Amino acid sequence: MKIAIIGSGYVGLVSGACFADFGHNVVCVDKDPAKIEALTAGRMPIFEPGLDTLVADNVRQGRLSFTTDLAAGVADADAVFIAVGTPSRRGDGFADLSFVFQAARDIAQALTRFTVVVTKSTVPVGTGDEVERIIRESRPAAEVAVVSNPEFLREGAAIADFKRPDRIVIGAEEARAAEVISELYRPLYLNQAPILVTSRRTAELTKYAANAFLATKITFINEMADLCEQVGADVQQVARGIGLDNRIGPKFLHAGPGYGGSCFPKDTLALVKTAQDAGSPVRLVETVVAVNDSRKRAMARKVILACGGSVRGKRIAVLGLTFKPNTDDMRDAPSLAIIAGLQDAGARVVAYDPEGMEQARPLLSGVEYAEDPYSCAEKADALVIVTEWNAFRALDLARLRAVMAAPVLVDLRNVYGAAEATRHGFHYLGVGGRRELPVAPQAVPAADAIDA
Ligand code: UDX
């Protein structure tokens, strides 16, 4: 089948490459000529494991191409996916749909035969109705169906998620449109991914409900972590203890510095606005948004506490800047609020991230960047793990301790345990563990004293 994807950002590019890999003929469209030129030359605008080779393979096989010419891409397509950005609108937090509606107008002009127009971007309930209205208004005779097919992929695991989804949701108002989209996913029938055909509005809301639920799950365990610290319990064991209940499930119960990224913060906020406008406020989600916002800053206070109550004039080493591992995405990353909090309290921050430093530079000021975890830790008064990159899972703790000015390890992702860190002479503070007393930072003894 022939597919055009409008918007070669994260979702558009991954979906385009994966559909091409299924054997479909895919044209990815973007209005940014520099992006299209880079993609045609095999350079990826984003970091996503496996994407470059998947794109290169499918370009070579002639199934995937890139263009700025929307009309040419749309003209003979069976399905046109709208995968443009829906950022939070400044001021009111509602999703900014101007790119979606512009795409709808452009697509309308280019239609030549029955085409299914699909919203893949996360869009508020009712957007599909508006897209259909825009298309019919500009081309009353167009043979078109507008469908919602939300994407549930995670950054860093996007290709695997696309190819082995838990489910596919197709929100369509007419059967023939649902059939076209089901057909696109036929290769997944082998994996027995359930296909859920719903009304358009139901599909749109399902996406928001999924993200809001996951954000709630994380926020719930984060609050349990705080409580654990106060009452002397261990949140990792609590998470295991509740997660083994099939009704709860073990995933998304890792306590940490709060959720970030391109989806959860934006989508929870958009759902809150939609629900308020509909006269049916989602108070639980409103609270999740507020709790998560304040949590990021609270993590800076945790570091200050670990440093004996003050970081003024101290050198704080931060490992991990991106909102999660395996991405270079800095959008709404907890590190931004944590670093700002530390700087406000007078700390000098030195940071290292395997992929995120380039994206971080324009967002942070006064931060020194290191080349690896060990040079980052040099002369530091505390080391803070903010993102659980694999590269931080097997650090040589003795070596780190030897180069630091004071042996304080604040592990906001519970990568290490208190026992292991303490064995190497660290004062350790994780998330949701036994409450540690504030420690007085101490000078590191000479290396031979550590070995003894
Ligand atoms: C999310 C959804 O998972 C995906 O289905 C949707 O399409 C887009 O939004 P993504 O933003 O890529 O995907 O990241 P995800 O892996 O879900 O993590 C989101 C945030 O939650 C990260 O900051 C992560 O560190 C945090 N998180 C996740 C936790 O703090 N604890 C957890 O147990 C899980």
Does residue 91 have a pLDDT over 90? no
Q: Which of 179-193, 305-319, 334-348 has the lowest mean pLDDT?
A: 179-193
pLDDT given for residue 367 in this prediction: 98
The C-alpha atoms of residue 356 and residue 187 are separated, in whole angstroms, by 34
The C-alpha atoms of residue 337 and residue 369 are separated, in whole angstroms, by 17
Out of 48, 259, 266, 323, give the residue to mutate to test ligand 1, the one with the largest number of ligand atoms within 8 Å of its CB: 259
- Catalytic residue (choose from 18, 228, 263, 376): 263
pLDDT tens digit sequence for 243-267: 999 999 999 999 999 999 989 999 9
Confidence of residue 88 (pLDDT cuts 50, 70, 90): confident
Does residue 93 have a pLDDT over 80? no
Confidence of residue 441 (pLDDT cuts 50, 70, 90): very low
The protein residue with its alpha carbon nearest to ligand 1, atom 34, reads 252
Indicate left, alpha or beta for 199 from its phi (over 0: left) and psi (-120 to 50: alpha). Answer: beta
Ligand 1 proximity of 107 Cβ (cutoff 6 Å): no
Does residue 315 have a pLDDT over 60? yes
Q: Which of 85-94, 147-156, 196-205, 398-407 has the lowest mean pLDDT?
A: 85-94
pLDDT tens digit sequence for 57-81: 999 999 999 999 999 999 999 999 9
Ligand 1 proximity of 169 Cβ (cutoff 6 Å): no
* 21 membership: H or E segment, kind and range: helix 10-21
- d(CA 47, ligand 1 centre) in Å: 16
Residues across the chain: 452
Q: Tokens for 349? A: 């921050």
User: Look-up: residue for tokens 């790119």?
Assistant: 99
The C-alpha atoms of residue 311 and residue 220 are separated, in whole angstroms, by 29
Integer CA distances (angstroms), 299 to 169, 305, 334, 411, 415, in order: 37, 10, 9, 10, 16
Q: State which ligand 1 atom lies nearest to the alpha carbon of 334.
A: 23
* 3-class DSSP state of 67: strand
The protein residue with its alpha carbon nearest to ligand 1, atom 9, reads 263
Ligand 1 proximity of 11 Cβ (cutoff 6 Å): no
Buried b (16+ CB within 10 A) or exposed e, 84-113: bbbebeeeebbbbbebbbebbebbbebbee
- d(CA 408, ligand 1 centre) in Å: 28
Q: Which of 86-90, 185-189, 231-235 has the lowest mean pLDDT?
A: 86-90
pLDDT given for residue 47 in this prediction: 87
ipTM: 0.94
The protein residue with its alpha carbon nearest to ligand 1, atom 2, reads 154
Going by C-alpha positions, the residue among 431, 334, 347, 426 that lies closest to residue 386 is 334
pLDDT given for residue 434 in this prediction: 65
Percent of the chain with pLDDT over 90: 88
Q: Pick out the residues of the known binding site for NAD(+).
A: 30, 35, 86, 122, 155, 266, 331
Q: Tokens for 406? A: 């004071």
- d(CA 32, ligand 1 centre) in Å: 28
Going by C-alpha positions, the residue among 103, 358, 35 that lies closest to residue 13 is 35
pLDDT given for residue 443 in this prediction: 47
Out of 218, 220, 262, 268, give the residue to mutate to test ligand 1, the one with the largest number of ligand atoms within 8 Å of its CB: 218
Strands of the sheet containing 348-352, edge to edge, are 367-369, 348-352, 315-319, 382-385, 408-411, 427-429
pLDDT given for residue 448 in this prediction: 40
The HSE-up count of residue 348 (CA atoms within 13 Å, CB side) is 11
- Kindly report each contact of residues 23-26 with a partner whose C-beta sits within 8 Å and lies 24 or more positions away, as own/partner: 23/63, 23/187, 24/63, 24/184, 25/1, 25/63, 26/2, 26/58, 26/63, 26/64, 26/65
Alpha helices in 164-249 (DSSP H): 175-184, 200-231, 235-243
The C-alpha atoms of residue 142 and residue 181 are separated, in whole angstroms, by 19
Confidence of residue 168 (pLDDT cuts 50, 70, 90): very high
The protein residue with its alpha carbon nearest to ligand 1, atom 26, reads 259
Percent of the chain with pLDDT over 70: 95
- d(CA 395, ligand 1 centre) in Å: 24
Does residue 121 have a pLDDT over 90? no
Model pTM? 0.91
Out of 119, 266, 324, 330, give the residue to mutate to test ligand 1, the one with the largest number of ligand atoms within 8 Å of its CB: 324
Which domains, from first to last, does the chain contain?
Answer: 2-198 (3.40.50.720), 293-451 (3.40.50.720)
Does residue 128 have a pLDDT over 60? yes
> How confident is the prediction for the chain on average, in pLDDT?
93
pLDDT given for residue 225 in this prediction: 98
What is the DSSP code string of 98-153?
HHHHHHHHHHHHH--S-EEEEE-S---TTHHHHHHHHHHHH-TT--EEEEE----P
Q: Tokens for 232? A: 């002397």
Ligand 1 proximity of 218 Cβ (cutoff 6 Å): yes
The C-alpha atoms of residue 266 and residue 188 are separated, in whole angstroms, by 29
The C-alpha atoms of residue 185 and residue 257 are separated, in whole angstroms, by 37
Does residue 179 have a pLDDT over 60? yes
pLDDT given for residue 435 in this prediction: 53
Mean pLDDT for the stretch of residues 22-26:
97
Q: State which ligand 1 atom lies nearest to the alpha carbon of 158.
A: 12
Establish whether 18 is a catalytic residue: no
Sign, CA dihedral 197-99-322-393, equals positive
